[in-house]
């Protein structure tokens, strides 16, 4: 059997966060990992960005934006399965757009500060 070491990338850091992982599943906007003894670790707003079986490594990427997108997709899938529109879906979409706009504004402000120094 192949067990994976898991690394989580946040902005500029990349840290080992789990070992001997044999199972991964998306669950309610989070990534749930299970190791060989059945212990689980939950990562909110994270996705698997890569798996390298040769090196027994899984790479995760974390961003607060991902949790917002997962919430929207879950609401969308619920509406599809129920065959109806729900205003909650529109609210979640507005949250995705607002969070994205804020990220862009924050990056712009940060880059302007860096140019000034």
Map out the domains of the chain as residue ranges.
4-62, 65-116
- Other CB atoms within a 10 A radius of the CB of residue 6 amount to 24
Give the SS3 label for residue 113: helix
Terminal-to-terminal C-alpha distance of the chain:
53
- pLDDT of the chain along its 117 residues, tens only? 789 999 999 878 899 999 999 999 988 778 999 999 999 999 998 999 999 999 999 999 998 899 899 889 999 999 999 999 999 999 999 999 999 999 999 999 999 888 887
**Residue that is written with structure tokens 């790479």 in the block:** 59
- pTM beyond 0.85, yes or no: no
* 51: enclosing H helix or E strand: strand 46-52
């Amino acid at each position: 059997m192949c067990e994976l070491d898991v690394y989580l990338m946040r902005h500029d850091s990349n840290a080992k966060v789990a070992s001997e992982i044999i199972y991964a599943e998306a669950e309610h906007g989070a990534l749930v990992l299970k190791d060989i003894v059945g212990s689980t670790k939950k990562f909110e707003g994270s996705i698997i960005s890569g798996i390298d079986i040769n090196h027994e490594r899984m790479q995760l990427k974390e961003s607060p934006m991902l949790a917002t997108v997962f919430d929207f997709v879950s609401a969308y899938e619920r509406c599809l399965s129920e065959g109806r529109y729900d205003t909650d879906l529109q609210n979640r979409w507005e949250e995705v757009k607002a969070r994205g706009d804020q990220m862009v504004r924050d990056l712009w402000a940060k880059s302007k500060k860096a140019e000034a120094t």
